[in-house]
Amino acid sequence: MAQQPSQLDNGRRILILTAEAGFGHRNAALAIEAAMQERYGDRCTIRILNPLREAGAPAILQTMAEERYDDWVQNDPGLYNLGYRISDGMPAAALIEQVYSVLLYDPLKELLEQHSPDVVVSTYPFYLEPINFVFDRTRRSLPLVSVITDLVTVHTLWFNPRVDSCLVPTEQARQKALHNEVPADRIHVTGLPVHPRFGAENRPPSEIRAELGWKTDLTTVLMVGGTRVAKVPEIARLIDRSGLKVQLAIVCGGDEDLYNRLMAESWRGDVYVYSFVAHMPAFIRASDLVVTKAGGLIVSETLACGRPLILCSAISGQETGNVEYVTSAGAGDWAPSPTEVLACLVRWLSSDQATLSERTANARQAGRPKAAYEAVRLIWELAETGPQPNRRELSLRSAARFPLKAGAQVSRAIDKLEQELRGVTDAELARLAMWCINQIETEHELKRIAKVVSQRTNS
């Protein structure tokens, strides 16, 4: 018998599922936990868990989804973009859902039995259909909430028509949810949940700078780096040698190699380098602008603090929509090379910083510091009322929801996937085949992928 958790006698149980693929998924979970604790902490127990790291989860899933994520993004962005683009199609998404449903069935079933939640929240897209798969086979009915952590370019796997509530960060994401058959009354534009402390930090910048040991009267540029942010040393060196009257703070996001490189530099001006900081709201509020990559999390956190962004890099496909979101709101600019970053900074600071002032006002307008509270309100309502009636629509994706009984439908899905691959070169397809094979654990699924690739390359 599964061990029951220690819970409040009459409290609600909130189970939040996440993953370590980048920072965004877990930080969204932590933001929801903090807001839930603040609003309903005396009436609930909250658990944040990663099913990929639970007993029984195939090690290959954790390896591919988490451990190799940075390696793909940094060292083979073309392959990552290709895989993202092809898997974003409905047939491929349905097949991925089928594979994950089978492989994660046991660990997810065990988590539900052990924690007996009143509502399940997922900040990672690959869990949504597997959870429904468990519900169907155990005859359980629990509210399921998806919390989307990409602003605009959102993968199809995020949009599951059977969720009770789909929390999207932008209107653009809402439109894609509708396109993917999520019922309109279950879609809520909340913004991307950021930790409540980002909205709570409202001290004057000069006060925070004095506390940090920075100069209080200099325009301050914050650079947020890390393993997925390209050319941080080159950008920092250009700014430092530009002659601009600014001070530069650089947070390396725990990337020790980057930190050591920056600490070895001979800086001419006021430059402060940090490996990792636990109080990012203070750092952002103490700055006048932020230079970083177009990750959904850092973009949302920066806007929540009312600061504009110069975006210096973006993961192709996944983050390109974030660039559009920021620039179309007038809350920042796209500068994909070190010289463009410097040119942008010069433009912002010229004419008595008129452009910087404009970008800052737009950033305050675009920021949603209360997003986590709105998400928590909707989650709590479901914990109190229970799940909504499910729609059992017949579609390609619904075929993948019953993989052990859907041979004909899945065969048609494979045919459609093969058609989508006709525009891809054989060299690209060969690399994609290796990427797919590395993600599939069972021999049965491996043979099915290999058959599609073989038919394509021999045609």
> What pLDDT, on the 0 to 100 scale, is given for residue 87?
58
Residues 147 and 16 in one domain: yes
Average pLDDT over residues 389-415: 46
Structure token pair of residue 245:
């009257």
* Domain range enclosing 122: 12-195+373-458
Name the least confident of 27-41, 352-366, 375-389, 396-410: 396-410
Of 103, 459, 154, 132, which is closest to residue 296 (Cα–Cα)?
Answer: 154
Residue 161 forms part of a structural domain: yes
Sheet holding 165-168, edge to edge: 44-49, 12-17, 119-122, 144-147, 165-168, 187-189
Residue 4 forms part of a structural domain: no
Residues 167 and 262 in one domain: no
> What pLDDT, on the 0 to 100 scale, is given for residue 47?
95
What is the CATH classification number for the domain harbouring 63?
A: 3.40.50.2000
Structure token pair of residue 354:
């008129």
What digits encode the pLDDT tens for the residues 302-337?
Answer: 999 999 999 999 877 678 889 999 999 999 999 999
What is the C-alpha separation between 432 and 84, in angstroms, rounded?
10
Structure token pair of residue 410:
């899945």
Structure token pair of residue 438:
């590395």
Q: Which of 300, 332, 366 is the last residue of a domain?
A: 366
What digits encode the pLDDT tens for the residues 113-133?
Answer: 999 999 999 999 989 988 988
> What pLDDT, on the 0 to 100 scale, is given for residue 139?
81
311 phi and psi, to 5 degrees?
Answer: -90, 120
Of 131-135, 381-385, 389-393, give the range with the top mean pLDDT.
381-385
DSSP string, 397-453: HHHHTSGGG-HHHHHHHHHHHHHHGGGS-HHHHHHHHHHHHHH--SHHHHHHHHHHH
Q: Judge contact between 138 and 120, C-beta under 8 A.
A: no
Check pLDDT > 90 for residue 137: no
> What pLDDT, on the 0 to 100 scale, is given for residue 64?
61
Residue 3 forms part of a structural domain: no
Check pLDDT > 60 for residue 449: no
Q: Judge contact between 290 and 310, C-beta under 8 A.
A: yes
pLDDT category at 386 given cuts 50, 70, 90 is: confident
Q: Which of 325, 343, 366 is the last residue of a domain?
A: 366
Check pLDDT > 60 for residue 51: yes
pLDDT category at 70 given cuts 50, 70, 90 is: low
> What pLDDT, on the 0 to 100 scale, is given for residue 453?
42
> What pLDDT, on the 0 to 100 scale, is given for residue 302?
96
Residue 36 forms part of a structural domain: yes
DSSP string, 42-60: GGEEEEEE-GGGSTTS-HH
Residues 347 and 225 in one domain: yes
> What pLDDT, on the 0 to 100 scale, is given for residue 99?
72
Q: Judge contact between 336 and 313, C-beta under 8 A.
A: yes
Structure token pair of residue 175:
């439109």
DSSP string, 176-198: HHHHTT--GGGEEE------HHH
Residue 168 forms part of a structural domain: yes
pLDDT category at 431 given cuts 50, 70, 90 is: very low
DSSP string, 369-387: TTHHHHHHHHHHHHHHH-P
Residues 154 and 246 in one domain: no
pTM value is 0.78
Residue 152 forms part of a structural domain: yes
pLDDT category at 5 given cuts 50, 70, 90 is: very low
Q: What angle do CA 259, 334, 272 make, to 5 degrees?
A: 25
Count the domains in the chain.
2
Of 166, 168, 174, which is closest to residue 145 (Cα–Cα)?
Answer: 166
Q: How far is CA 62 from CA 19, 110, 295, 404, 431, in A?
A: 9, 18, 21, 24, 21
> What pLDDT, on the 0 to 100 scale, is given for residue 72?
52
What is the C-alpha separation between 297 and 30, in angstroms, rounded?
12
Residues 286 and 403 in one domain: no
Residue 5 forms part of a structural domain: no
> What pLDDT, on the 0 to 100 scale, is given for residue 439?
47
Check pLDDT > 80 for residue 156: yes
> What pLDDT, on the 0 to 100 scale, is given for residue 53?
87
What is the C-alpha separation between 109 and 400, in angstroms, rounded?
19
More confident residue, 436 or 379: 379
Residues 149 and 181 in one domain: yes
Structure token pair of residue 72:
């793909």
Residues 26 and 89 in one domain: yes
What digits encode the pLDDT tens for the residues 242-255?
Answer: 999 999 999 998 88
> What pLDDT, on the 0 to 100 scale, is given for residue 81?
53
More confident residue, 444 or 368: 368
Residues 349 and 335 in one domain: yes
Name the least confident of 4-13, 225-234, 300-309, 421-430: 421-430
Name the least confident of 44-58, 175-189, 195-209, 296-310: 44-58
> What pLDDT, on the 0 to 100 scale, is given for residue 141?
85
Q: Judge contact between 274 and 298, C-beta under 8 A.
A: no
pLDDT averaged over the chain? 81
More confident residue, 314 or 240: 240
What is the C-alpha separation between 316 and 80, in angstroms, rounded?
8
> What pLDDT, on the 0 to 100 scale, is given for residue 65?
59
Q: Which of 332, 366, 400 is the last residue of a domain?
A: 366
Structure token pair of residue 401:
């929801």
What is the C-alpha separation between 387 and 383, in angstroms, rounded?
8
Determine the distance from the C-alpha atom of residue 105 to the mean position of all C-alpha atoms in its chain, rounded to a whole number.
23
> What pLDDT, on the 0 to 100 scale, is given for residue 342?
97
Residues 40 and 177 in one domain: yes
pLDDT category at 263 given cuts 50, 70, 90 is: very high
Residues 379 and 323 in one domain: no
Name the least confident of 221-235, 274-288, 290-304: 221-235
What digits encode the pLDDT tens for the residues 20-37?
Answer: 876 789 999 999 999 999
Residues 245 and 382 in one domain: no
Residue 6 forms part of a structural domain: no
Residues 214 and 344 in one domain: yes
